[in-house]
Every structure is written in C-alpha cells, then in structure tokens.
Amino acid sequence: MWFPNADVTVNPALLVLLGIIVGTLGGFFGVGGGFLITGGLLVFGVPPLFAVGTGLALVMGTSLINTLKHRSLGNVDFKLGMMMAVGSVPSLYGAQQVNQQLEEAGVAGTVIRVLYVCFLVILGTFILYDHWRVGRGESHFEDEVSTAGLAQRILRLNIGPRFIWLPGFGKVQTVTSLPVSGVERISVFVPIILGAGVGFFAGILGAGGAFILTPLLIYFMGIPTVVAIGTGLFQVIITGSVGTFLYALSGRVDPLMVVLMLAAASLGAQLGTSATRVVKPSRIRFLYGVIVLAGGLAVAMEEVSQAADVDVLSTLASVVLLGVGGAMCLMIGAMMIKAKLKDRELAPTESD
C-alpha cells in the first residue's frame, strides 16, 4: 500500500500488527510505544523523519487511550506529570531543530538508529540486571528495586531557591509533596530537570519519552511501578502533542499511517492496561527489559543492513521486532486468562 505523505510503500498488515502490539504493550508497560513505533517504521523502510513524526502522532493517540484507562485505576500522578511537562515542552523544540540539522547533513537516519540502539541496550540490560540483583536478596516486596538508596538521595536534593514568585500566585514554595506517588518531600526542580532531559531525547528519537521516563521514575525517584506507568503515559500525551505539532508543521507526519495503526492500537490498549491489575510489578519490569532489548536488536540489524546492503538482515529485524512483541502480547493475554481462572476458583471458597 502506498502512503503519499511519506512517499513509501508498506504492507498495511504489518502496520496493523504493529498498532496492536504497541497498544497492548503501551498500556502494560506505561510507554507510548515510541521505541517500537519509530523503530518499526524505520525497519519497514519509512524515511527517518517521517518515522519520527508519524511515531509521535501515534504515541499521542495511544497514550491518551491508555491514560484514561489508568486514571480510572488511580495510577496517574497528574501533579508530577505537569511539573515534568514544564521542562519537557521547551526541550522538544530544541530537539526538532537538531533533527532538521541532522537531516540537512544527511546523517539523520544513522544518528537516530545508533542512539536508539545505545539507549535500548543500556536500558534493557540495566532493568534485567536490577531484576536479577533484587531476586538474589532476601526481601520479597514486589516494588523493591536495587536503586532504592539512590532514589531517596534524589528526593532529598535541594535545588534552586526555596521560594519563587509567580504572577497571580505570589510567593510559592519550591518544595512539595506527591501523595499519589507516596513522596512526602521533593524539590519541584527535580522533575522539571528530569522532564527537560527526557523531552529532548524523546524529540530526537521520535518517541513520547515514556520508555526513558517510566524507568527513571521507578529506579531514580522510587515511584511505585503502576503509578510510574500511568504518570509516564500522561506525560507522553503532552510531549506527543507538542512533538506531533512541530513535525506536522514541516510535513513530516503521514496521517493515513497514523489512522490505520491507531485503530488497531485502541484494541490492544484495553488488554494491556487491564493486565497491570493482575501481574506483579517485578514481572512487569522484567518483561519490559526483554522487549526493550529486542527493540534495540531489531534497530541494530536494520542499521547494519543499510550500511552493508544486506537485505536479509532488514527482514530479520522485522521478524525480531514483531515476533518478540507479538509473543509478549500473547503472554500478557495468557497471564490475564490465568488470573481470571484463579479468581473463579477462589470465588466459591470465599462465599462459603
């Protein structure tokens, strides 16, 4: 099927499958799916900046659907999300300017793919290492992570002035609390700086940033896993909207691709979000590490394929990306069914 805006021919069945996978995994892992969407579109042969712009548009849509579902479960810290948005929105513009410079230099595709590989491999390896390290310990708390001490030190940081003056509000404290996240004290500059860094890299990579943000909230701020998932998705709505607008202005979004994948993603989102209620947080983090590493491997193979002109590697990259993602969706569905059957078995006992 030919997509006129991007001027590329892609099998629509692949886009539908990618949409279902992104919707399911997005709701389950608390990511907009940008690392899968943009990586997948790059693997399917979509031009780099169209992959980035179209990826951001789909990220925005899937995150909105998933955030509404997580909000009903009480998993979204809107206060934390808005503070991070103060830093992320301006940095998105800077990232878009950098990407345009890279395109003019003719290295946008290579830079984006290399950054993807580096980020995904490092992130995925760390998550699996944390799972192994915590598993060796004696504690059995499901939300325990190996960086708990570091998270406490970050929350105690004193950055900037204790008070600032805001028009209409007067003198305002810069130290606050986050009841939904279970944080008693935090400087507002911590999430603002965090949001700025995440927003910049999200804009460069064509993602909403939750694939970076959600792990940062869990491992470096000590936010509970399910709250980090919901809050990360809320943040992606903001960054995805701004990023989509910026790329749409330069004509780097293919609406037909977005509509096709979003329709499929809305179906998968229901399964992924509901599964967070029955799957242990430690298992969610472990599976996330696996899918992140798979995404990094797929993009790495695509880069080697283009550099060495080996078409078979490009095909293999598609198989790895969609194969692992599809298998993960089936696993999530199986865990949901198992939990439902267990509830039915316990129901008669409880009534007795």
Can you give the pTM of this predicted structure?
0.75
Query: Biggest alpha carbon distance in the chain?
Result: 72
Q: Who contacts 336 (Cβ-Cβ below 8 Å, separation ≥6)?
A: 271, 274, 275, 278
- At 207 the pLDDT is 60
CB 128 within 8 A of CB 289: yes
Q: What is the mean pLDDT of the chain?
A: 80
Residue 340 pLDDT class (50, 70, 90 cuts): confident
Structure-model confidence comparison of residues 159 and 136, the more confident one = 159
Q: Give the Å distances, CA to CA, from 345 to 127, 350, 351.
A: 34, 9, 11
On the question of pLDDT at 352 being above 70, the answer is no
Domain boundaries, the chain: 2-351
Average pLDDT over residues 227-241: 80
On the question of pLDDT at 138 being above 70, the answer is no
| Alpha-carbon 192 to chain mean position | 18
The distance in angstroms from the start CA to the end CA of the chain is 59
- At 80 the pLDDT is 92
Q: Tens digits of per-residue pLDDT, 255-307? A: 888 888 888 888 888 888 888 888 888 888 888 888 888 878 887 887 788 77
On the question of pLDDT at 247 being above 50, the answer is yes
Token pair in block for residue 7: 């001027």
Could you count the other beta carbons within 10 Å of the beta carbon of residue 348?
8
On the question of pLDDT at 182 being above 80, the answer is yes
Q: Who contacts 38 (Cβ-Cβ below 8 Å, separation ≥6)?
A: 51, 52, 55, 112, 116, 205, 206, 207
Residue 77 pLDDT class (50, 70, 90 cuts): very high
- At 208 the pLDDT is 57
On the question of pLDDT at 351 being above 50, the answer is no
Average pLDDT over residues 45-62: 78
On the question of pLDDT at 153 being above 70, the answer is yes
- Which of 22-31, 66-75, 138-147, 226-235 bottoms out in mean pLDDT, i.e. has the lowest? 138-147
Average pLDDT over residues 101-124: 81
